[in-house]
């Protein structure tokens, strides 16, 4: 794959942008034919490129308002889990086209002390988005209709106050926000991630008691010396407001619909080298050699009586949710002349959702049914695997930014990567591991990049013993400004 990209980039007839056109099947016509461009207009020195949409509110630009746009398009081939169906039809393999994320950010420093942040967009928009599950017992003309236009929503809406003018010692904010505890990947900056997708397991309550990892919260965050901290008091959403399957109590823990307690979160980072940016609560995936970062990190989330289950007599038992992690993160240049860099992460996660909690999840799942259901587990079709559960998880990723001239001048750079999620969940009778390997073609850094990713995941049988493995290949194109 790397050889193929290098050969294409080395072709004098193909520029970096032309390669993107070839990959996506577009056509660009020439406005004039046979007339040298430099005879039409006098040569001028081009103005420096402004790589942002930013409006200054005062003379020195310290007060500003900024807008960003992000779009991630997926072309995906998936080898389906056994029994997978789409609208009642067997689907051993699938190919789909989707929008993994489409986002608009609007934020700014309005005064010396006040900061405003909004994010609006949608996620996981493919042909099944908002479609009802097909019921083979009903005629096709009797099926309920879905609404493919309902997916966009506010991800974030917050206001923040800087307590000490000109210093990041303490910021107090409130609203709908991703500022939370547990880990850096629980609050990731999506536009700058190194792997094709984030390790979603780190967003531990995603779409259960939060809104795509965002919660209504009061928080404090800041940087004091080498310590970066954030603490949040969050008001979680009821589990029965997530438009999911009917909630039933059983012997295995699930989120409880009959209690409501606040959630407490904290995250601490010790920054040995350079400090990371602190403008928004989001944390950068990789700086592509622009910064020297080495951090040790720890975080936690706790909520009283968040879970429920029944005992042998049928009585209801409530259990606390306690999650914590520790990790190390390294992201730094290696050779300034060649613009090479390395990015690495190693984290340990300890999840206690109550006895035998287990949740399957498939990112932008390309299927909506199965003829081989697993007792007590929802959504095991398509590309799903046991992503969340009570137990222990080790996650690691490693990437290397190749020399800037490897593809030839002006053709961008390549950054191959690998990642591993290894888990021992209480309810599984075998360890769970998911491997990813891929390569980023950074046509213009994170602003324009192609990512080719291969994932290999486990498949479990009805007794939750691992039976086999399946794979998926995804080509993602990201545009971000």
- Residue 150, SS3 per DSSP: coil
Which DSSP string do the residues of 221-273 spell out, in sequence order? EEEETTEEEEEEEEEPPPGGGS--SPP---SS-EE-SS----EEEEEEEEESS
More confident residue, 355 or 50: 355
pLDDT band for position 131 (50/70/90)? low
Structure tokens at 166: 């000109």
Distance CA(222)–CA(176), nearest Å, equals: 18
Helix or strand holding residue 4 (H, E)? helix 2-10
The answer to whether 399 and 341 are in contact (CB under 8 A) is: no
- Alpha-carbon distance of 352 to 299, in angstroms, equals 14
Q: Considering only 295-304, 446-455, 462-471, which range has the smallest mean pLDDT? A: 462-471
Mean pLDDT over each residue of the chain, to the nearest integer: 89
The tens digit of pLDDT for each residue in 36-45 reads 444 444 555 6
What average pLDDT does range 125-149 have in this prediction?
A: 68
Distance between CA atoms of residues 93 and 311, nearest Å: 40
Whether the predicted pLDDT of 322 surpasses 80: yes
- pLDDT tens per residue, range 331-385: 999 999 999 999 999 999 999 999 999 999 999 999 999 999 998 899 999 999 9
Parallel, antiparallel or unpaired: strands 385-389 and 153-162? unpaired
Average pLDDT over residues 381-391: 97
Q: Does pLDDT of 71 surpass 60?
A: yes
Does pLDDT of 202 surpass 80?
yes
Domain spanning 64-135+150-480: CATH 2.40.160.10? yes
**For residue 380, what is the DSSP state?**
-
Provide the 8-state DSSP code for 201: G
- 3-class SS string, 70-132: EEEEEEEEEECCCCEEECCEECCEEEEEEEEEEEEEEEEECCCCEEEEEEEEEEEECCCCCCC
Question: Which pLDDT value is given to residue 153?
Answer: 93
The better pLDDT of the pair 430, 433 is held by 433
CA distance 458 to 465: 10
CB 366 within 8 A of CB 379: no
**Per-residue tokens: 478:** 């990201």
pLDDT over 70 percentage in the chain: 86
Total residues belonging to the chain: 481
Residue 80 clears pLDDT 80, i.e. is over it: yes
pLDDT at 31: 36
pLDDT class of 33 with cuts at 50, 70, 90 = very low
pTM of the model: 0.88
Q: Does residue 12 surpass a pLDDT of 70? A: no
- Reduced to 3 states (helix: H, G, I; strand: E, B; else coil), residue 315 is coil
Identify the band that residue 17 occupies on the pLDDT scale cut at 50, 70 and 90.
very low
Q: What is the predicted pLDDT for the residue at 134?
A: 60
Q: What pLDDT score was predicted for residue 409?
A: 85
Sign for the pseudo-dihedral over CA of 290, 104, 167, 60: positive
What pLDDT sits at residue 186? 97
For range 247-260, the mean pLDDT: 93
- Alpha-carbon distance of 302 to 470, in angstroms, equals 34
What integer pLDDT is reported at residue 206 of this predicted model?
95
- Angle, vertex CA 356, rays to CA 354 and CA 362, nearest 5: 105
Burial of 365 (0-12, 13-18, 19+ CB in 10 A): buried
Residue 129 is predicted with a pLDDT of 79
From residue 64, alpha-carbon distances to 105, 116, 162 in Å are 14, 10, 15
All structural domains of the chain with their residue ranges:
64-135+150-480
**Given this model, what pLDDT does residue 32 score?**
36
The SS3 assignment for 326 reads: strand
Q: Alpha-carbon distance 1 to 9, whole Å?
A: 12
Confidence label for 69 from pLDDT (cuts 50, 70 and 90): very high
Asked if residue 71 lies in contact with residue 478, where contact means CB atoms within 8 angstroms, the answer is yes
pLDDT, greater one: 245 or 274: 274
């Amino acid at each position: 794959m790397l050889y193929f990209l290098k050969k294409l980039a080395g072709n004098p007839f193909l520029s970096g942008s032309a390669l993107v056109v070839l990959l996506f099947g577009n056509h660009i016509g020439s406005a004039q034919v046979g007339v040298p461009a430099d005879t039409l207009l006098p040569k001028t020195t081009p103005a420096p490129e402004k790589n942002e949409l930013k409006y200054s509110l005062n003379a020195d630009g310290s007060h500003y308002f900024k807008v960003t746009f992000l779009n991630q398009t997926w072309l995906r081939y998936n080898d389906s889990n056994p029994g997978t169906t789409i609208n009642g039809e067997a689907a051993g393999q699938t190919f789909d086209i989707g929008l993994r994320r489409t986002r608009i950010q609007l934020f700014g420093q309005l005064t010396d002390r006040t900061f405003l942040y909004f994010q609006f967009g949608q996620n996981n928009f493919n042909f099944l988005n908002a479609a009802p599950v097909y019921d083979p017992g009903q005629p096709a003309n009797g099926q309920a209709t879905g609404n493919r236009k309902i997916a966009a929503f506010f991800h974030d809406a917050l206001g923040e106050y800087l307590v000490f003018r000109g210093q990041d010692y303490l910021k107090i904010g409130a609203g709908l926000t991703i500022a939370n505890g547990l880990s850096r990947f629980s609050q990731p900056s999506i536009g700058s991630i190194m792997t094709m997708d984030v390790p979603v397991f780190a967003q531990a309550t995603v779409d259960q008691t939060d809104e795509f990892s965002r919660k209504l919260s009061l928080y404090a965050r800041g940087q004091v010396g080498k310590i970066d901290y954030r603490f949040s008091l969050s008001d979680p959403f009821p589990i029965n407001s997530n438009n999911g399957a009917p909630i039933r109590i059983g012997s295995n823990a699930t989120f409880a619909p009959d209690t409501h307690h606040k959630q407490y979160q904290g995250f601490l980072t010790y920054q040995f080298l350079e400090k990371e940016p602190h403008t928004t609560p989001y944390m950068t995936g990789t700086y592509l050699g622009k910064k020297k970062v080495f951090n040790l990190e720890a975080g936690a989330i706790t909520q009283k009586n968040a879970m429920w289950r029944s005992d042998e007599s049928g009585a209801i038992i409530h259990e606390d949710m306690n999650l914590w992690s520790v990790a190390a993160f390294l992201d730094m240049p290696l050779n300034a002349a060649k613009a090479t860099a390395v990015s690495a992460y190693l984290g340990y996660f300890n999840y206690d959702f109550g006895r035998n909690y287990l949740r399957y999840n498939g990112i932008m799942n390309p299927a909506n049914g199965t003829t081989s259901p697993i007792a007590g587990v929802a959504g095991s079709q398509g590309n799903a695997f046991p992503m969340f559960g009570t137990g222990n998880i080790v996650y690691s990723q490693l990437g290397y930014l190749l020399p800037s001239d490897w593809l030839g001048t002006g053709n961008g750079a390549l950054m191959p990567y690998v990642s591993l999620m290894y888990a021992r969940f209480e309810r599984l009778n075998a360890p769970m591991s998911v491997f990813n390997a891929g390569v980023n073609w950074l046509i213009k850094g994170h602003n324009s990049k192609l990512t080719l990713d291969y994932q290999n995941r486990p498949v479990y049988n009805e007794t939750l013993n691992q039976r086999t493995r399946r794979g998926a290949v995804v080509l993602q194109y990201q545009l971000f400004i």
